[in-house]
Each structure stands twice: as C-alpha cells, then as structure tokens.
C-alpha cells in the first residue's frame, strides 16, 4: 500500500516498455528507475541559503543554511551536460549544449521557463541580458527579459577584429557597467587567444575597445574594472586596466586557475589540485593566504559569508573554510557525483570505482537491497583493477597485489590477507579455486583457506586480455596473434591446454570473453563473435555481428542476454538464445554521456557512466510490450473528497497497484476536460 499527499483528480497508471519519462532518454524495453549517482560536479552558484550544483546532467539544489550539514532538496534532470550556472533574482541560467532558464521562486521545485538552442561553457547575467561563452561561436548576448522566450540579440566572434586580431573560442566572461571582459583561448593556428575588453552599450553591435595577449590560452577571468585576473594554462596573470589601451602585465603567479572569485583583497582560485586563497592587496606581489588540497579537480568556486563552495568533480560539492583566521579545512559537502569507470555486484551491494583525470580514485560501496532507493555504505581509498567474490570474501586486484577482504559487513570491509602479485589483471573464482592472470601467465590458487590461498599451478599464455571459466574449462582471450586458448581445469593443480582457435579480428586490451550457457561471447574492437563450445576442444563460430568500432566497450552476460555498453552513450541488449540472428531486445541512451560499465540481474540493470553517475534500469523481457503515450490507459481514477480541502494544506490518499512496475501519478483539475491541461505529475517511479 502506498500513501501520497494529493489534490483534486488523480490518475494512476502502470507503464511498461518504451516510456519517455524524461526527454533525454531513448529507452527500448527498459525504464529508468533510479539515478543513484548524478555525475561529476562542474559548476556551483550560491544565493541566499541555497547552493546550486551542476552534477553531470542534473541541476541540484542544496540547502546550505548549515554549511556543515548541507541537504539536497531538489534534483532536476535536463539530459544535457551542464557546464556553468549563474543565479540571480530567483532565476538560474544554465550553460550546456542549450541555454536553460529555471525559475527558483520555490527552490524545492525548480521550474524550467525557457530554452534557447545555443551551446555554452560559461554564463553571466546582468540587467536581463545573459552573456554566454560559446567556444568557437564566440560571446553570445541573449535578451532574457522574457524568461519563456530568450532571444539572441548580439554576438562577438571571429568576425570581430581589433588591430588585425580576430576573437576566437570564448571561454569566460565578466560584465561591469557597459563593458564585457572576455577570455579567449585560440584553437589551431588562431591568433585570437587572449583577453578582450568589449563595449556592450549597443547589445546588437558589441565593439572591441581593448586587447591583451597573455601568449597562452585563457581559462578564466575576474575583474574589478581597474585590474583583470586571468587564469591561464601557465598560471595566473594580473593585468592593469587603468589605461584600457593597452592593458599591461603587473604580476604572475604559477598556480593554474580554472575559476576565479574576488572578495575584497582576497582572490580565490579553483584548480586541478584544490582551492587557493591569495592576498592581492598588493597586486604586483600576490601572496598565498591559504591552500586547500582536494583529491578531485575543482572546476568552479563561489564564496559566501567567508565560506568557499567548490564544484569538485567526482567528489561533488565541497564546502571549505579557508578564511585567514582559521586553518584550511573542509567543513561540509555533498558527495554523490559519480564518475564511474567500473562496477561489480555481490549480494545486496555494488562496488563502484569512482574517479577521473589521473586523480586518486575511490571504491564506493552501495546497498542495492532496494534498487530504487540506494545508499552509500562505504568509501575506500583504493582503485581496484578487478574484484571477485567467494563466500563472504572479496579478492581485490590492485597494481601491486591481491588484497583479501572480509565483507561480512560491507560497511566496514576488513583486510585479512593478501597475495603479492604485481601486475595481476584478471581474476575468476570457480569451484573454490581462484584463477589470477598477469599478461603472460595464469596462476591457480586453492581457496580452502580463503585468507591464505595456496598456490596450485601456473601456466603460460602470452598476451592475455581476458579469461572466462565455463564448467571445467578456462577460455583465455589472447591479444598476440588474436586467438582463444582453451584449458581443461578439472584438475586445478594441472591445467592442460586442449585447443587453440584463431580470431580473424583485432583484439585490444579492452576486448572481453564471456560464457553464455554453452556459448562463448567474444567482444573485439568492432565485432561480437559467438562461439559454440559444446565441445570445448573444438569451438566453432556460429555468428558475428558488427557492434561499432569503439576503443572501449564493457559487457555483462547472463545465460541468454548480453548487456553491452556501446562505447558511446548507453547500452544495447541482445538475445543470446538465438545466436544466428542475435536479435536486439532493448537499449538505453542518456544524452551524449559515456557509458563505461554495466551489471545486470533478472530485473535490474546497473549502468555506470564516466560522467553521469549510476543509472538503475528496470527491465522485464518476459513480454516485450511497447506502449506509446497515446495508448497508456489509467488503471485507477480517484476523486479526492472535499475534506480535508485539497487547496488548504494537503490531502492524503492511498493507492494500490496490481503488479511491480513503473507508476505514473498525474493530477488534473476536474473542471478541465480530461484531455485538457496537465497541472502536475507527482510520481514517475518504479513501485511494488
């Protein structure tokens, strides 16, 4: 039984199959049930008691009334990687592949008011005009007075010339009075990189009035009209603007600055390494006040009441006190922004490798007892190469060794042993034995004592890319002279090679081999090969299919289904029970985000994205019913009574559904015809 607070006339309908819950999805016979981790944090804006975070393609609202305990109060998917956020006068302006405007009158329920088809990386707003940096398209000036219909009114781009220099590839902007201060980073042989001062009194015809060449690409801009602060690829440059033409260099500072915020005589820098506060009371000689080192790259920084708010990539929102009177320390944060490269599952938990850009990664352990309401139970400072599970132990491969963890309580894994095996790449556990591979060898260990594995045997196999065990046979995929080598392992202490099958294909370090019933699935650079291994000593290929030539694909295989990340934006699902035709059962695409790994069971798909977190999909292929919206039929229509008054407070109703599935609850005003307006959608969620 479910309980809701609802008003007026309610429609409850069960949806299955091809349901367009959000505009950015393209699902086929799967349904997004949970976006458990949202994506790396790329931008942050702060106004009043709220912080607004860009987490992948999700616009997140966070209550920061108590900075030590920030609370997420809203998350809105826009299906588009958000690059920047500017907040002013209860509106949020989002720079993405489109320009979005959100009404924040009620921060708990942001409402999108307008969209303009212009790509952007940075945005500032002043006096109902938005100034959008749009890369090679230059600086776009947008009239946003009518939030529902923003209109471009001017542009400053390569056609803008000053002293023979063309403006090119706008990356950041600040606006003061009737001047815009714009940073450009040149592309190719462009001479347009640098810092431009642009007169914007006439929005339709912005005119350059000053230019400074830092001799390197500009990343960020800050100014107070007398001085400009340029974050460049070679560090900070402070520029004197007193005479406007030409601006002159005052001083430099070596730290890279991806974002800059000036508060009085303090300049806050966001960089790959954290946050830096500089004393700029003497701009000719800036001095370090405080440093805060972050494990994740900081992309944007905001300052409010002496507290610094940083968008810190895969660590999400970091709230840091680096005021001069205190020691630098993190005082709060909201870390749910997943940049996920690998995923494994065991029991009621998934294990996710999270981290990017060469920074130290972490292993996040999440409970999936309820896949719709997942929660993190542990963060560990380790980046596994592979993980295999046996009883209540996890065998965790790193670049240095194999760690053995007791995971009786996944919230607090305990290291209970290790194997000294530098260079281990893969591990499979079968019938109480672990098979661990390096590039050229397969090592077999007896796990009778799980904490102290006993070495049983090792055998050569040059250029191992991946292994799989089916029944008493080990299948090794080799990169050198691409081939499959089959070993009989019925006697683990004496594995014997029984066949070699050459592959007429390109095998790279990301290629994989998976067992699928009596079949073997090989995923190469471009193709999917299906082998019949009923007779392991004589594998023969039954089918092959081009699945796109991508550097890196990952797959998960059940006895009859293949879940394949397509190397780009999502997954494709194939029916392995029909090897010759290999029909596609379904798929899922999320914007232009990179799908990195996948795990699936009988009902749920856990899809990891390198820059959009963890998506949990519900699937049921027992009956492939695809419903379009014009065929959706409500399973219940409920008229809420007049007591308590639905328009005075709230009304509580209870509803029941006949089966597990996606529930869509909608509210209509019963004075409007049923086919009329839709005032609100309360629930689009998987329920049971």
Average pLDDT over residues 630-646: 48
Average pLDDT over residues 49-76: 91
The answer to which of 82-91, 271-280, 656-665 has the lowest mean pLDDT is 656-665
What digits encode the pLDDT tens for the residues 512-543?
Answer: 999 887 789 998 888 889 999 999 999 999 88
Average pLDDT over residues 35-57: 88
Secondary structure E strands in 401-511: 402-406, 414-419, 426-430, 433-437, 441-446, 454-460, 464-470, 473-478, 483-488, 496-502
The C-alpha atoms of residue 509 and residue 525 are separated, in whole angstroms, by 9
Q: Of all residues in the chain, what percent carry a pLDDT higher than 70?
A: 80
Q: Of 32 and 616, which is predicted with more confidence?
A: 616
| C-alpha atoms less than 13 angstroms from C-alpha of 63 in its C-beta half-sphere | 11
Mean pLDDT of the chain: 82
Average pLDDT over residues 608-630: 64
- At residue 657, the pLDDT reads 56
- At residue 419, the pLDDT reads 93
What digits encode the pLDDT tens for the residues 342-376?
Answer: 999 999 999 999 876 556 678 999 999 988 888 88
Q: Which residue has the tokens 């819950």?
A: 21
Whether the Cβ atoms of residue 612 and residue 368 lie closer than 8 Å to each other: no
| Predicted TM-score of the model (pTM) | 0.74
Whether pLDDT at 335 is above 90: no
The structure tokens listed for 611 are 């820059």
Comparing CA positions, the residue from 227, 291, 317, 251 lying closest to residue 40 is 317
Average pLDDT over residues 543-548: 83
- At residue 418, the pLDDT reads 94
Categorize the per-residue pLDDT at 593 as very low, low, confident or very high, splitting at 50, 70 and 90. Answer: confident
Average pLDDT over residues 149-171: 80
SS (H, E, C) 350-366: EEEEECCCCCCCEEEEE
The C-alpha atoms of residue 15 and residue 580 are separated, in whole angstroms, by 32
- Which residues are CB-contacts of 466 (< 8 A; sequence separation ≥ 6)? 426, 476, 477, 511, 512, 513
Q: Where are the alpha helices (DSSP H) in 305-432?
A: none
What digits encode the pLDDT tens for the residues 424-475?
Answer: 999 999 999 999 999 899 999 999 999 999 999 999 999 999 999 988 999 9
Categorize the per-residue pLDDT at 679 as very low, low, confident or very high, splitting at 50, 70 and 90. Answer: very low
Whether pLDDT at 328 is above 80: no
Average pLDDT over residues 62-75: 90
CA distances from 178 to 174, 207, 444, 511 (A): 11, 11, 73, 57
Whether pLDDT at 31 is above 60: yes
Whether pLDDT at 313 is above 90: no
The structure tokens listed for 540 are 């023969």
């Amino acid at each position: 039984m479910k309980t809701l607070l609802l008003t007026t006339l309610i429609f409850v309908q069960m949806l299955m199959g091809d349901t367009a819950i959000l505009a950015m999805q393209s699902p086929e016979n799967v349904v997004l049930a949970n976006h458990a981790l949202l994506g790396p944090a790329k931008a942050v804006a702060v106004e009043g008691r709220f912080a607004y975070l860009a987490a992948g393609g999700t616009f997140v609202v966070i209550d920061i009334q108590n900075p030590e305990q920030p609370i997420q109060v809203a998350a809105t998917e826009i299906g588009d990687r958000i690059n920047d956020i500017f907040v002013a006068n209860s509106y949020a302006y989002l720079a993405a592949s489109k320009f979005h405007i959100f009404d924040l009158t009620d921060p708990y329920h942001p409402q999108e008011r307008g969209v303009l088809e212009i790509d952007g990386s940075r945005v500032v707003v002043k006096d109902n005009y938005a100034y959008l940096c749009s890369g090679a398209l230059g600086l776009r000036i947008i009239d946003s007075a009518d939030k529902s219909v923003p209109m471009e009114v001017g542009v400053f781009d390569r056609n803008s010339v000053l002293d023979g220099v063309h403006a090119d590839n706008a990356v950041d902007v600040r606006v003061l009075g009737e001047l815009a201060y714009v940073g450009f980073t040149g592309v190719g042989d462009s001479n347009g990189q640098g810092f431009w001062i642009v007169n914007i009194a006439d929005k339709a015809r912005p005119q350059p009035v000053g230019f400074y060449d830092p001799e390197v690409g500009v990343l960020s801009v800050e100014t107070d009209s007398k001085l400009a602060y340029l974050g460049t690829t070679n560090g900070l440059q402070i520029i004197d603007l007193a005479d406007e033409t030409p601006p002159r260099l005052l001083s430099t500072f070596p730290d890279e600055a991806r974002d800059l915020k000036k508060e009085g005589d303090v300049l806050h820098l966001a960089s790959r390494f954290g946050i830096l506060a500089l004393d700029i009371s003497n701009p000719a000689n800036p001095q370090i006040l405080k440093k805060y080192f972050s494990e994740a790259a900081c992309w944007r920084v905001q300052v409010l009441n002496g507290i610094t708010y940083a968008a810190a990539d895969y660590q999400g929102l970091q709230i840091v006190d680096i005021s001069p009177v205190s020691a630098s320390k993190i005082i709060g944060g909201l870390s749910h922004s997943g940049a996920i490269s690998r995923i494994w599952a065991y029991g009621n938990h998934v294990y996710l490798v999270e981290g990017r850009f060469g920074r130290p990664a972490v292993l996040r352990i999440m409970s999936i007892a309820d896949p719709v309401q997942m929660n993190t139970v542990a963060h560990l400072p380790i980046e596994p190469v592979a993980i295999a599970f046996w009883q209540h132990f996890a065998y965790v491969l790193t670049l240095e060794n194999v760690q053995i963890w007791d995971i009786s309580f996944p919230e607090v894994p305990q290291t209970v042993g290790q194997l000294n095996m530098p260079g281990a790449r893969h591990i499979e556990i079968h019938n109480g034995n672990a098979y661990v591979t390096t590039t050229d060898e397969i090592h077999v260990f007896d796990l009778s004592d799980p904490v102290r594995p006993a070495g049983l045997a090792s055998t050569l196999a040059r250029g191992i890319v991946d292994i799989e065990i089916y029944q008493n046979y080990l299948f090794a995929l080799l990169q050198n002279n691409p081939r499959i080598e089959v070993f009989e392992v019925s006697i683990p202490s004496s594995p014997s090679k029984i066949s070699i099958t050459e592959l007429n294909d390109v095998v790279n370090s990301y290629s994989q081999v998976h067992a699928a019933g009596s079949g073997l699935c090989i995923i190469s650079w471009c193709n999917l090969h299906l082998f019949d291994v009923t007779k392991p000593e004589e594998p023969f290929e039954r089918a092959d299919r081009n699945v796109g030539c991508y550097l890196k694909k990952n797959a998960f295989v059940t006895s009859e289904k293949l879940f394949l990340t397509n190397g780009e934006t999502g997954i494709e699902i194939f029916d392995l029970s029909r090897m010759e035709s290999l029909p596609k059962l379904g798929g899922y695409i999320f914007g232009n985000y990179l799908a990195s790994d996948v795990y699936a069971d009988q009902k749920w798909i856990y899809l990891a994205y390198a820059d959009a977190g963890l998506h949990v999909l519900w699937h049921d292929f027992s009956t492939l019913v695809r419903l379009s919206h014009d065929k959706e039929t409500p399973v219940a229509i409920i008229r809420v009574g007049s007591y308590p008054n639905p328009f005075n407070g709230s009304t509580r109703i209870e509803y029941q559904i006949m089966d597990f599935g996606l529930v869509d609850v909608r509210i209509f005003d019963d004075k409007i015809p049923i086919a009329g307006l839709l005032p609100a959608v309360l629930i689009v969620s998987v329920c049971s």
